[in-house]
Amino acid sequence: MKPKTGEILAMATYPSYNLNDPFTIPVEKNEDGTAKPKEGETGNSQSPETTGAGDTQVDKKTLLENLWRDRNFSSTYEPGSTFKLIVSAAALEEQITTTDVPNDFHCEGYTIIEDAVEEDIKIGCAQYAVHGKQTLREALRNSCNAAFIQLGSRIGKETLYKYFEGFGLFEKTGVKVAGESSSRFHEIDKVGRVELAVTSFGQRFEITPLQLITAVSTIANDGKLVQPRIVKRVVNTDSGAVEEYNTKEVRKVISEKTAKELRDMMKSVVENRENIYGTVAGYSIGGKTGTSEPSVTRPEDRIRSFLYSNCSS
């Protein structure tokens, strides 16, 4: 996405299909070239009208609908630690902390959330890594869950939800495509200590990839949220009439100062040796890693993601 204009410059989803043969389901191959059946498939590429042993018309219809879906805007997922950028933005804009306060957070590898109704909940960092005392910059670079639980508690659910709304995460982006989905957040009056803790590091709610990239592009655009655009113009080949889709600025979410500080922290993430493969020669790159926690009903949804931006300014 081009942050200043909202133009979607590239977008892809996989597995894909042949536009010239949209009713044929592609078959994944084994190393020896034989078909590898997936759950609910027979292992044969065929049209939905052709059913084999174990196949049903409903199975084919579901498979095709999933194949045709563009998950960038029609499917939701847990953003994981990429969402720590949004929480950081709220903290910096509200002057709850700054980027480099020494010993601002402390991580013992896990956090115990006391719950008055149920048993206390133990939430760990990745592999229960012990990050010790950290600044906000270090916490973002380490992707420390404990630090962001502490930060989320300082910010509070009302202020966090104000910024979630500001970044456009409670509504569809308005991109002109059919089938756009929106997010699934806890209702604010149902957000307790545990819900606030996990929300602060990007779990147990769902957004679309397009909602996330639109929100994070706000950081690259000096705090201005713009509506994403897939189509730039429509030309009538008969009359020559041209309909332009111009940049639409939705609102100012954070200050230019906060946006600049966030970009600087994103650079620290990429400059960390662990994420060296995120660098691009000739550009000053910033980014953030993330891993979605799969739900019990959808164990396949462990999605690893990486957001990056040109942070030259």
Query: Among all residues, which ones are annotated catalytic?
Result: 81
* Residues whose CB is less than 8 angstroms from the CB of residue 197 and which lie 6 or more positions away in sequence, other chains included: 111, 113, 121, 123, 149, 152, 153
CA-CA-CA-CA dihedral for 223, 79, 189, 146, to nearest 10: -90
Say if residue 182 is exposed, middle or buried (CB neighbours under 10 Å; 0-12, 13-18, 19+). Answer: middle
Contacts of residue 228, defined as CB under 8 A and 6 or more positions apart, other chains included, come to 1, 6, 7, 8, 173, 174, 175, 210, 213, 214
Element (H, E) at 225: strand 224-226
Find out whether 71 and 12 touch, Cβ atoms under 8 Å: no
